Structure 1
Amino acid sequence: MARRLEEATDEAILSGGTAGRRAVEEAGFSDELKQRLLEKVADAKFREEHRAAFIEAGLPTATGEGTRRVATAQPWTGTEPVEDVVLRMLDDAKRPLKPESRGKFCPPAVARPPTRRRVDSAGGRVARARDQAALYSELGIGSSKGLTDAEREEMKKEFRERFQPAARSMPVSASGLAALANERIEDAVARGQFKDLPRGKAAEADPRAASPFIDTTEYLLNRIIKRQEIVPPWIEKQQELASAARVFRQRLRNDWKRHAARTIASRGGSLEQQIARAEEYAAAEKKCDPSSQISDERTTVPAPDEKVGTESYLFRDADWERAESAYMKLSIEQLNALTRSYNLMAPEVARKPYWTLNREMESCFADVAPQLAEEIRQRAGARLPLRGRAVEKRRSEGFAKQWMGREDVRIHVEAAEKAYGLREWWRDVWRRWIG
């Protein structure tokens, strides 16, 4: 009965307002009961004011972000809140990026604890100084006394490229880009490129130039590079180096493949024996190539009586290497010169190692060995005469197919003015018969 009276009193206070409170006071409740009822009223008002916070606190931890937003959203009252209006206006002011142009979220890097800087010993400093001195001597600076005037001028030109204005790093700020653009505009005005410009055309508006979703400095830099062809010199030198390396490697592999196929074929035997010999060389080359043996599978150690001396089966030709050594050494020197010039311009993270002849030769042997069998097969097929191949093909076909569908039939088509058909023949016969 006390619980029911308490619930009735709570309902009268919550729904009755002032009249309900007056009725409770006139009913003669105790002060303790009145205090409890008033605390419940205050708690109900507090929960109503902070409804979203209580709902979010009551949700389980596994609830998704979308469910949390829907549960804690403010109920629609018929009018749009000011903060929602401002957010919608900001979103509509700029065109959003396409899904493929949006970047992926990158988590912030974890700050590592500071490490103690290693102090170089005296021996380490001496070794580093010795290496730098050796590099200095390899560049040819210290031994330039015996060079000719043309070689000395070429060396000066090579080292001068690093200190040219074009070899400096590109600006990475808006002010630096503006200064670079103004400099190019002034140079173009001085050359007279703005005299005959078409007038009256509207400027092309680029909505992405002022987009808040991307880095405008990087975007402007990329656009200048594309339109004005402003490419750092080390990029051009990198393309030149890659082209020279591709030509050298392609020629080296073609020459060695042709020579190896001829040498294997000249040792005699049938075509199958030559192909089997080439496959044995390829298998031996694969066993001696460390890069081809790297795999995730479990490796086994060969037995002591197993033949592991594959070095005797590797196909090499000292005479060919001796004959081609002059060309290969000169090519390696040219590639190293291009690499040295590129390293002088490129940043430290983009520099490339120098070339060595032994490494390139081993790579060539490893790449060409699997192709020798196919090369021998193609060369053997090319040596077969055309008439002999046609006879073998006709022998393998049936009698009806030989006479009904022959591919080696020669058809001569005359010109239109020289054509002699049934009409021309009938005309000549009629003329002879008449007269």
Structure 2
Amino acid sequence: MASRTAHPYVCARCASKLAYQNYAWPAIPLRKSYATKSESTDKPSAITNETQNAPSNTIHSEPTPEPGAMSRRLQEATDEVLLTGGKAGRRAIKDAGFSEELKEKLLAKVKDAQFRSQYAAAFSEVDMPSSAGEGTRITATSQPWAGQETTEDSVLRMLTDTHKPLDRELRGRPKIPDPRPVDMRMRQQSKLNPGHRVANARDKASMYTSLGLKESGGGSDERERAARREEFRERFQPGARTLPNTLAGLASLANQRIEDAIARGQFKNIPRGKDAAGPTTRINNPFIDTTEYIMNNMIKRQDIVPPWIEKQQELVKAAHTFRSRLRNDWKRHAARTIASSGGSLEAQIERAQQFARAEKLHNPRKGDVDQIGTPIDSTSDAVAVGNGQQTSMSAEESHNKERSTIETKAPLLEPFRDPSWLKTEQSYLELSIKNLNTLARSYNLMAPELAKKPYFKLERELSNCYAEVAPLVADAIRDRATRPQKPLVEAVGDRPSSILDRFGNHGTKAKIHDSRAPHYGFKEMWRDLFSRQER
């Protein structure tokens, strides 16, 4: 009969305590050095052979001990220095004497962290599950907040606050331009127009006219020309255009130029205050190129006139003088010719009005001919064409109505012309037109394309003159008939008497007698006075 052995009773608390005491805990190395290589790394082949030839019971060896808390903290500190320290952190790791394997491992971590931080949006989009919403995707791929606003966001916010975007209804649909192939073949340079070549040569040579190459009586002073020559000479010297590369150097250069300008007196007459420079829409709009506007404003403030503007003023003045004289001569001749045909004043005026109606019917007036020019741009040209078409249609309708009413009232005369007067003035008119065309040709060589003016033609000028003067002939005849007439020949000595002459001798002429008798004095006056009383 087998004997039964009684085991002592052990409670659950004691069993757990005993198990905790008997468990083999891994040893925690208190100090771990990375300065030297381990023997396992020095002989990898021997370890490999030993492990291959070892019996199967060695596979279940003890597990590798985990690093302690201090080791993990030191490793985290090293990684943090590598990631945030930059070159200083890498230099510290190199100077610490770590092994090459550990250095490569740490540097690989640094490169991986830099790559992930540079393309964080792409990594977050790749790691994002497909069930994520659009808002989550936008938040994950957007740039994280770094504590301050970037320059691009600041500029965009200021532009949006200053210039509010259009409403969605007013916006146009974006149109993507079609890609066009770029011709990369070598081409011959296009030949310039002779007029353009002359204008470019004149513009390039204008800056040298004041340097003494062409002597002129009204030029600048000799000292100014010498100073300008010295300035041009300094520009082409080596190192004349070098600028400092540092902020301090640029600041000192700016201060030096400001002090030179103050010494020259350029800051004396500068307007100051709120109203010094009025706000303009173009200069405050960041979407418009203000270079041309600022240059034109500078030219306007300094009273600088381009050469072609001066030529334009000369041409306009000459054309106005010629047209004014032509109209005055023709009006005077037409009034005299119509008045010399006889009849009463009313008959002469009626005849002049009939000639005016006939002129309006056969040669209608075409607006102000003094304004000669070309349209500024395509928009104004299109608007002008549209307005011109409407005006021509309305003018044609009114012209037809007026013509029908005039033909029903009375028979019309032919427009008034005088071939003899035209033959007499032919040489003067042709010479004047030739002079105006010469001025226009020289102006067109200097002016830009949009500001060029057409040439003058004698037939067109005479037609405009007839159309403008015809309504004024009747008034000229009336003024000529009602104004007081002046004597053609004045008598010798027949001058209008003055006020003293009228009060003294009642307008009679004094008679002077030439005599050799003694001078008439006070004694002779008393003698004549008493002799008259005695008589």
| Higher gyration radius (CA) | 2
User: What is the TM-score normalised by the length of structure 2?
Assistant: 0.36
User: What is the TM-score normalised by the length of structure 1?
Assistant: 0.43
